């Protein structure tokens, strides 16, 4: 239908609508007419369905369609009876409306059963005659039941439909739903359009059945709707099977063809897949084979290259190779040997025997040795003269091993031939030289660098009296007279320097002990690389040349005298040396003694130093504690805390107090000085304000200043310092109390300043980090100091002569300690400017920062 174009579809729908309208209009005229038309239409469709299914059965491979065709024929038949029996037709008289209703129900049961069975035959095969028989039997039984009155009542006049009729309609509806489910499950076996048509037909049938449960009159509206639905259902089945199956039979055929084709395609794919797999396997096998072939080829190449190399090695070796069979005939010969001989290979192999290329003497050697060689399997360094093709000869050494067969019998030789022409020449040369040497009248011999004699000629035998076998391997010194062996070292070192000794006159001793005068010429022997390996020595006997024995004796005596003199001289020197050595030893011993004495003294000193430290430590506590009590109690007595004291008592208490304080400050000063001198003073830096420090110092002397009626002026400023506050305070207090002590009237000025001046401008100390120097000055208008005494001021226990010396207390340590503290703890300096009778200025210069270790710098 979908292929139809739109106008055609429109016409088709119009025709259907027109038919439906006509039928409706007929019902307005007579319901009987309407019923008859409807039923005839459905009956016609039923029969047509059968006829066409029957005729098309050859194309229909789906037996469910066949079953539908046959089934609908029988349904149409019962429907025909139903129509004829319908109320008002007056064909079957004597029956009321019950009969057509019973027939209707029977037909509907049959229709539902058919529709249920049809999907079951989608895949099953069924014999058409068996189908026919089954339907015929069923219809006959049903009709007999109806006409005999045994079929249950369906309609009772005046009461309407019986419960059986209504129940049956529901049962039929249920069967139709089952049928739909079965079709749905098998929908894959139908064309999609056919399945939809069957489905809609089933739905229409259900509508039809349900409307028939409702009517009261067989001419009623529900009845009419039911009939329309029935017609629609029949028409749709008709569309499904006949129009689709015959008008569009190709679809079915193509559908099946399509299915077959799909199966084929799948099979084809499977086949192709298998072919692909097989092809891949074959390809792999092929590749493997190719690889093996390549490897084989490579091996082949390697082998042939190897063979070539072997061949090359054999033919072009620097020596001759050949093989002889058991007769001595050549079986193989290499290029080198052929080149030597001047023959071609063809001339030699299988044609010549070894005896053909040797001299007559060689033939003899060969015949003597060849049988022996074959027996023992090897021969070594046989010398032959080989004869070239051109008749010339050359010497060779032949060595051979035998090749045996599996039974151990001789097969052939593998012989090597060495050309020894060069070696022969050298040997001849050597022989010649050796002959010359041997025949010389002079003694000629060689020695190595260790002085071992290596060769010895006949001249040597004559001059020295030793035979060659007596001296070769012996040291050369055996030829030297006693006492003259040290000549050897001198000669050897000259030789090692490559020097030649010519006509060296000396004495030698013969085997019989007689001394002879000789002239020696000794030359270094070099190896091929030019290194010196030994020496040749030529000795000429010159004894006969010397005029007389006496002269020799005289010379001898002179020599002996010289040796004696020299020996005495040396002995004298040796004794002197020994004496000096002894003296030196004594000095060293003395030194050792002194050293140990010093060490002892040093440890005693260290012990003393320790004792001193202990003494000072105990002083600091043991002396000060009672002294503090003396000072404390005498001060409260004097101040009359305990009770009133008279003037004399008060003065005495004053003396005790003053003496106590003096003693305490003396002790404190001594402790500080000794700590500084022992390097044990501890430096404790902290940050503080200079102004506050100076104010604090002033408080210590404030009372004395007021008592003496002096004026105190402060010209001080705030400045942050980092140094040993305690020690600085101590120094300032010392200076201030000195000023107070030695000033009877006038003023004391304490001032501070920051001095950025460089040390080279002032000549004094300077801070290491480029920070600033702080200057603290104490100025008084006291008695002053004579300029010549200023340098003594800072010495310990010095108290300058003055009018005040007797009355002013002092330890003589104050300025000494102050200076020590300023220099060694505060890393500054102190200077004094004064004039007798005009007051003094003490100026203290210190770095504004020092670090814990006591160095001026980045504190």
Partner 1 sequence: MKKVLVVEDNGDNLRLISYALRRYGYEVIAAETGMKGVELAIAERPGFILMDINLPDIDGLEATRRIRKSSSNGDIPIIAITSYAMAGDMDMVMAAGCNGYFEKPIDPLTIMDKIHALLGLSGNPANGNGGES
Q: Applying CB under 8 A, does 853 fall inside the site for partner 1?
A: no
Q: Applying CB under 8 A, does 643 fall inside the site for partner 1?
A: yes
User: Cα–Cα distance between 35 and 365 in angstroms, integer?
Assistant: 148
Q: Applying CB under 8 A, does 641 fall inside the site for partner 1?
A: yes
CB proximity list for 778: less than 8 A, separation 6 or greater: 732, 735, 736, 738, 739, 748, 749, 750, 841, 842, 844
Task: Give the C-alpha distances (Å, rounded to integers) separating 192 from 151, 182, 184.
Answer: 40, 15, 11
The C-alpha angle 599, 604, 609, rounded to 5 degrees, equals 120
If the CB atoms of residues 414 and 650 are measured against partner 1, the closer one turns out to be 650
Task: Pick the piece of the chain touching partner 1 (CB under 8 A) from 228-236, 484-492, 584-592, 621-629.
Answer: 621-629
Q: Applying CB under 8 A, does 621 fall inside the site for partner 1?
A: yes
> How far is CA 170 from its chain centroid?
86
Task: Provide the minimum distance between the beta carbon of 737 and partner 1 in the complex, in angstroms, as a whole number.
Answer: 16
Task: Pick the piece of the chain touching partner 1 (CB under 8 A) from 362-370, 473-481, 627-635, 740-748.
Answer: 627-635
User: Cα–Cα distance between 270 and 275 in angstroms, integer?
Assistant: 9
If the CB atoms of residues 63 and 724 are measured against partner 1, the closer one turns out to be 724
- Among 158, 318, 473, 644, which residue sits at the site for partner 1 (rule: CB under 8 A)? 644
Q: Applying CB under 8 A, does 427 fall inside the site for partner 1?
A: no
Beta-ladder partners of 774: 754, 846
User: Cα–Cα distance between 827 and 764 in angstroms, integer?
Assistant: 11
Q: Applying CB under 8 A, does 639 fall inside the site for partner 1?
A: yes
Task: Provide the minimum distance between the beta carbon of 629 and partner 1 in the complex, in angstroms, as a whole number.
Answer: 4
Q: Applying CB under 8 A, does 684 fall inside the site for partner 1?
A: yes
Q: Applying CB under 8 A, does 680 fall inside the site for partner 1?
A: no
Task: Pick the piece of the chain touching partner 1 (CB under 8 A) from 527-535, 553-561, 635-643, 762-770.
Answer: 635-643
Q: Applying CB under 8 A, does 763 fall inside the site for partner 1?
A: no
If the CB atoms of residues 502 and 682 are measured against partner 1, the closer one turns out to be 682
If the CB atoms of residues 523 and 620 are measured against partner 1, the closer one turns out to be 620
Q: For 16-22, which contacts have Cβ atoms below 8 Å and span 24 or more sequence positions?
A: 20/228
Task: Pick the piece of the chain touching partner 1 (CB under 8 A) from 148-156, 161-169, 191-199, 642-650.
Answer: 642-650
Output the six-digit token pair for 570. Answer: 């040396």
- With b for 16 or more beta-carbon neighbours within 10 A and e for fewer, the 262-288 pattern comes to eeeeeeeeeeeeeeeeeeeeeeeeeee
Q: Applying CB under 8 A, does 420 fall inside the site for partner 1?
A: no
If the CB atoms of residues 665 and 802 are measured against partner 1, the closer one turns out to be 665
Q: Applying CB under 8 A, does 640 fall inside the site for partner 1?
A: yes
If the CB atoms of residues 579 and 682 are measured against partner 1, the closer one turns out to be 682
First-to-final CA distance of the chain: 112
Name the helix (H) or strand (E) containing 414. strand 410-419
List, edge to edge, every strand of the sheet that includes 501-509. 453-456, 443-448, 532-541, 515-526, 501-509
Q: Applying CB under 8 A, does 646 fall inside the site for partner 1?
A: no
Q: Applying CB under 8 A, does 726 fall inside the site for partner 1?
A: yes
If the CB atoms of residues 258 and 626 are measured against partner 1, the closer one turns out to be 626
Per-residue mark of binding to partner 1, 601-620 (x: CB under 8 A)? -------------------x
Q: Applying CB under 8 A, does 482 fall inside the site for partner 1?
A: no
User: Cα–Cα distance between 440 and 538 in angstroms, integer?
Assistant: 10
If the CB atoms of residues 660 and 839 are measured against partner 1, the closer one turns out to be 660
Per-residue mark of binding to partner 1, 156-195 (x: CB under 8 A)? ----------------------------------------
If the CB atoms of residues 147 and 700 are measured against partner 1, the closer one turns out to be 700
Task: Provide the minimum distance between the beta carbon of 626 and partner 1 in the complex, in angstroms, as a whole number.
Answer: 8
If the CB atoms of residues 288 and 684 are measured against partner 1, the closer one turns out to be 684
Q: Applying CB under 8 A, does 721 fall inside the site for partner 1?
A: no
If the CB atoms of residues 349 and 664 are measured against partner 1, the closer one turns out to be 664
Task: Provide the minimum distance between the beta carbon of 631 and partner 1 in the complex, in angstroms, as a whole number.
Answer: 7
User: Cα–Cα distance between 272 and 15 in angstroms, integer?
Assistant: 54
User: What sign does the dihedral 754-758-759-762 (CA atoms) show?
Assistant: negative
Q: Applying CB under 8 A, does 649 fall inside the site for partner 1?
A: no
If the CB atoms of residues 161 and 826 are measured against partner 1, the closer one turns out to be 826
DSSP 3-state assignment of 484?
A: coil
Strands (E), 610-657: none
Q: What is the DSSP letter of 153?
A: P
Q: Applying CB under 8 A, does 636 fall inside the site for partner 1?
A: yes
Q: CB of 340 within 8 A of CB of 321? A: no
User: Cα–Cα distance between 446 and 526 in angstroms, integer?
Assistant: 12
DSSP 3-state assignment of 222?
A: helix
Output the six-digit token pair for 243. Answer: 């129009």
Task: Provide the minimum distance between the beta carbon of 625 and partner 1 in the complex, in angstroms, as a whole number.
Answer: 7
Q: How many helices (H) and strands (E) does the chain have?
A: 23, 19
If the CB atoms of residues 7 and 643 are measured against partner 1, the closer one turns out to be 643
Task: Provide the minimum distance between the beta carbon of 733 and partner 1 in the complex, in angstroms, as a whole number.
Answer: 14
Task: Pick the piece of the chain touching partner 1 (CB under 8 A) from 120-128, 457-465, 604-612, 636-644.
Answer: 636-644
Q: Applying CB under 8 A, does 797 fall inside the site for partner 1?
A: no
- Among 298, 581, 618, 629, which residue sits at the site for partner 1 (rule: CB under 8 A)? 629
If the CB atoms of residues 287 and 639 are measured against partner 1, the closer one turns out to be 639
Q: Applying CB under 8 A, does 259 fall inside the site for partner 1?
A: no
User: Cα–Cα distance between 564 and 543 in angstroms, integer?
Assistant: 25
Task: Provide the minimum distance between the beta carbon of 728 and partner 1 in the complex, in angstroms, as a whole number.
Answer: 14
Task: Pick the piece of the chain touching partner 1 (CB under 8 A) from 5-13, 425-433, 604-612, 625-633.
Answer: 625-633
Indicate left, alpha or beta for 274 from its phi (over 0: left) and psi (-120 to 50: alpha).
Answer: alpha
Task: Pick the piece of the chain touching partner 1 (CB under 8 A) from 629-637, 744-752, 777-785, 811-819.
Answer: 629-637
Q: Which residue has the tokens 């369905």?
A: 49
- Among 8, 682, 702, 795, which residue sits at the site for partner 1 (rule: CB under 8 A)? 682
- Among 434, 596, 603, 628, which residue sits at the site for partner 1 (rule: CB under 8 A)? 628
- Among 664, 666, 712, 775, which residue sits at the site for partner 1 (rule: CB under 8 A)? 664
Q: Applying CB under 8 A, does 631 fall inside the site for partner 1?
A: yes
Q: CB of 57 within 8 A of CB of 80? A: no
For residue 638, count CB atoms less than 10 angstroms from its CB and return exposed for 0-12, middle for 13-18, buried for 19 or more. middle
Output the six-digit token pair for 27. Answer: 């019902």
DSSP 3-state assignment of 12?
A: helix
User: Cα–Cα distance between 357 and 802 in angstroms, integer?
Assistant: 141
Task: Pick the piece of the chain touching partner 1 (CB under 8 A) from 115-123, 301-309, 628-636, 805-813.
Answer: 628-636
- Among 625, 646, 647, 807, which residue sits at the site for partner 1 (rule: CB under 8 A)? 625
Task: Provide the minimum distance between the beta carbon of 632 and partner 1 in the complex, in angstroms, as a whole number.
Answer: 4
- Among 633, 688, 691, 855, which residue sits at the site for partner 1 (rule: CB under 8 A)? 633
Task: Provide the minimum distance between the beta carbon of 736 and partner 1 in the complex, in angstroms, as a whole number.
Answer: 18
Q: What is the DSSP letter of 358?
A: B
Strands (E), 180-338: 320-324, 330-333
- Using CB under 8 A as the binding criterion, the count of chain residues that bind partner 1 stands at 22
Q: CB of 671 within 8 A of CB of 619? A: yes
Query: What secondary structure, in 3-state letters, does 716-780 show?
Result: CCCCEEEECHHHHHHHHHHHHHHHHHCCCCCEEEEEEEEECCCHHHHCCCCCCCCCCEEEEEEEE
Q: CB of 153 within 8 A of CB of 100? A: no
Q: Which residues are at the interface with partner 1 (CB under 8 A)?
A: 620-621, 624-625, 627-629, 631-633, 635-636, 639-644, 664, 682, 684, 726
């Amino acid at each position: 239908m979908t292929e139809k174009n739109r106008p055609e579809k429109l016409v088709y729908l119009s025709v259907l609508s027109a038919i439906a309208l006509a039928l409706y209009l007929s019902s307005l005229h007579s319901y009987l007419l309407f019923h008859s038309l409807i039923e005839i239409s459905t009956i016609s469709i039923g029969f047509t369905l059968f006829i066409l299914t029957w005729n098309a059965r050859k194309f229909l491979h789906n037996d469910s369609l066949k079953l539908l065709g046959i089934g609908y024929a029988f349904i149409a038949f019962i429907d025909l009876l139903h129509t004829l029996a319908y109320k008002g037709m007056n064909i079957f008289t004597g029956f009321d409306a019950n009969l057509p209703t019973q027939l209707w129900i029977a037909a509907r049961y049959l229709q539902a059963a058919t529709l249920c069975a049809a999907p079951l035959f989608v895949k099953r095969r069924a014999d058409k005659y068996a189908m026919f028989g089954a339907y015929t039997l069923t219809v006959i039984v049903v009709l007999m039941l109806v006409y005999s009155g045994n079929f249950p009542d369906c309609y009772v006049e005046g009461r309407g439909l019986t419960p059986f009729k209504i129940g049956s309609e529901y049962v039929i509806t249920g069967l139709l739903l089952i049928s739909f489910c079965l079709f749905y499950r098998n929908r894959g076996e139908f064309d999609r359009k056919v399945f939809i048509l069957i489905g809609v037909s089933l739905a229409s049938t259900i509508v039809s059945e349900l409307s028939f449960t409702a009517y009261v009159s067989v001419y009623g509206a529900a009845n009419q709707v039911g009939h329309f639905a029935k017609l629609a259902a029949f028409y749709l089945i008709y569309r499904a099977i006949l129009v689709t199956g015959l008008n569009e039979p190709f679809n079915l055929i193509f559908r099946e063809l399509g299915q077959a084709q799909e199966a084929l395609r799948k099979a084809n794919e499977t086949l192709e897949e298998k072919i692909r797999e097989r092809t891949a396997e074959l390809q792999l096998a092929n590749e493997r084979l190719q690889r093996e072939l390549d490897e084989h080829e490579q091996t082949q190449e390697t082998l042939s290259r190897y063979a070539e190399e072997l061949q090359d090695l054999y033919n072009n070796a620097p020596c001759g190779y050949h093989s002889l069979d058991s007769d001595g005939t050549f079986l193989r010969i290499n290029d080198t040997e052929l080149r030597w001989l001047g023959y071609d290979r063809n001339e030699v192999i299988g044609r010549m025997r070894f005896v053909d290329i040797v001299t007559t003497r060689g033939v003899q050697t060969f015949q003597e040795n060849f049988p022996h060689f074959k027996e023992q399997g090897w021969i070594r360094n046989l010398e032959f003269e080989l004869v070239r093709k051109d008749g010339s000869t050359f010497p060779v050494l032949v060595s051979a091993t035998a090749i045996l067969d599996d039974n151990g019998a001789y097969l052939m030789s593998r012989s090597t031939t060495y050309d020894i022409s060069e070696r022969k020449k050298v040997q001849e040369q050597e022989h010649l030289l050796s002959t010359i040497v041997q025949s010389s009248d002079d003694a000629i011999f060689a020695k190595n660098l260790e002085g071992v004699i290596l060769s010895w000629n006949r001249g040597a035998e004559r001059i020295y009296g030793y035979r060659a076998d007596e001296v070769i391997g012996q040291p050369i010194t055996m030829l030297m007279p006693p006492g003259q062996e040290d000549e050897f070292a001198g000669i050897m070192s000259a030789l090692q320097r490559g020097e030649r000794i010519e006509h060296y006159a000396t004495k030698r001793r013969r085997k019989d002990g007689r001394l002879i005068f000789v002239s020696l010429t000794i030359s270094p022997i070099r190896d091929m690389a030019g290194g010196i390996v030994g020496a040749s020595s030529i000795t000429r006997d010159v004894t006969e040349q010397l005029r007389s024995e006496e002269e020799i004796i005289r010379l001898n005596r002179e020599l002996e005298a010289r040796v004696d003199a020299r020996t005495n001289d040396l002995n004298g020197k040796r004794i002197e040396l020994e004496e000096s050595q002894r003296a030196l030893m004594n000095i060293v011993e003395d030194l050792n003694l002194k050293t140990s004495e010093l060490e002892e003294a040093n440890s005693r000193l260290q012990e003393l130093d320790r004792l001193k430290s202990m003494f000072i430590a105990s002083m600091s506590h043991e002396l000060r504690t009672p002294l503090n009590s003396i000072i404390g109690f005498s001060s409260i007595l004097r101040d009359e805390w305990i009770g009133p004291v008279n003037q004399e008592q008060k003065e005495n208490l004053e003396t005790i107090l003053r003496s106590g304080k003096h003693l305490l400050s003396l002790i404190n000063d001594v402790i500080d000085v000794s700590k500084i001198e022992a390097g044990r003073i501890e430096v404790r830096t902290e940050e503080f304000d200079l102004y506050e420090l100076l104010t604090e110092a002033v408080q210590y002397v404030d009372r004395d200043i007021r008592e003496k009626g002096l004026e105190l002026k402060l010209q001080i400023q705030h400045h942050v310092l980092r140094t040993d506050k305690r020690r600085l305070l101590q120094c300032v207090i010392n200076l201030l109390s000195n000023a107070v002590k030695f000033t009877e009237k006038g003023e004391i000025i304490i001032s501070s300043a920051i001095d950025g001046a460089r040390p080279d401008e002032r000549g004094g100390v300077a801070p290491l980090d480029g920070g600033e120097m702080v200057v603290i000055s104490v100025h008084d208008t006291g008695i002053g100091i004579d300029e010549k005494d200023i340098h003594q001021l800072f010495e310990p226990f010095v108290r300058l002569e003055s009018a005040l010396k007797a009355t002013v207390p002092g330890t003589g340590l104050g300025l000494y300690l102050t200076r020590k503290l300023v220099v060694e703890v505060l890393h500054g300096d102190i200077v004094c400017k004064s004039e007798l009778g005009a007051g003094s200025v003490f100026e203290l210069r210190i770095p504004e920062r020092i670090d814990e270790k006591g160095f001026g710098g980045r504190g």
